Amino acid sequence: MQIETLLYKNGSWEVQKSFDLSGDADLVTIFGDTAEFVKKEHFDTLRSRYPRAEIVGCSSSGNILGPEVSQSSLVVTAIKFDSSKVILQSSSFEAGADIGVLSRELACKFDAEGLKHLFLLSDGLNVNGSELVKGFNEATTVTKTGGLAGDGARFEQTWVIANDYAQQYIIAAVGFYGDALTIGSGCYGGWSEFGTHRIITKSDANILYELDGEPALD
């Protein structure tokens, strides 16, 4: 496997690590600050550089580069596999859609033969993440990783790229195929408790209404 990393900062692109995968990458991921992520010219640049790659990514609340949070507005990783292949599928939806049903249907778009892993990215403000994962788990037993799109500290709009310009109300899934492929994952949050312990007295799915009988927002 070969990897090339591109960073967008101070108005220009910088190649940090390069195997010169232009024209030869199989998969390209892009994560970035909302203001830059939605600009069409950035997707056009990536499509021109990697014409045959599956391109997927989302707006974020911090762009990870190696073990650190990058100061770059966009972080792009291009990957060329030795023998494995990747397939990108996506689905758009409307507000109020049944995310469990939608995710099951999206999972069923993938050929089960040889499928080793699914990597999921989704609109972060209009999706119940628990229902999203539940639907995929009901449809297939392969391992899954991924996350919901972010918007810094604003929580106003989240965007996903799936072989097209950035869009809202979209779920993307990348299927990884190949006997030689080994998948690993890790997760670390870093949060610690502070303040008064409270009891949730009213909620609906992932929507919180009350804490200790008082409006949660108050």
Note the pLDDT of residue 68: 83
Note the pLDDT of residue 45: 97
**Residue 67 pLDDT > 90:** no
- Of the chain, the percentage scoring pLDDT greater than 70 comes to 100
Residue 161: which H helix or E strand, with range?
strand 160-162
Per-residue pLDDT tens over the stretch 137-177: 999 999 999 999 999 888 899 999 999 999 999 999 999 99
Rounded CA separation 218/87 (Å)? 45
- SS3 state of residue 205: coil
Rounded CA separation 183/173 (Å)? 16
- Of the chain, the percentage scoring pLDDT greater than 90 comes to 77
Closest C-alpha to 81, from 117, 32, 44: 117
Rounded CA separation 2/18 (Å)? 9
The neighbouring-strand residues paired with 28 are 55, 78
Report the pLDDT averaged over residues 72-83: 94
Rounded CA separation 46/26 (Å)? 12
**Residue 77 pLDDT > 90:** yes
Rounded CA separation 45/39 (Å)? 11
Task: Count other Cβ atoms within 10 Å, centred on residue 140.
Answer: 16
Average model confidence (pLDDT) across the chain: 93
How many residues comprise the chain? 218
Rounded CA separation 74/36 (Å)? 7
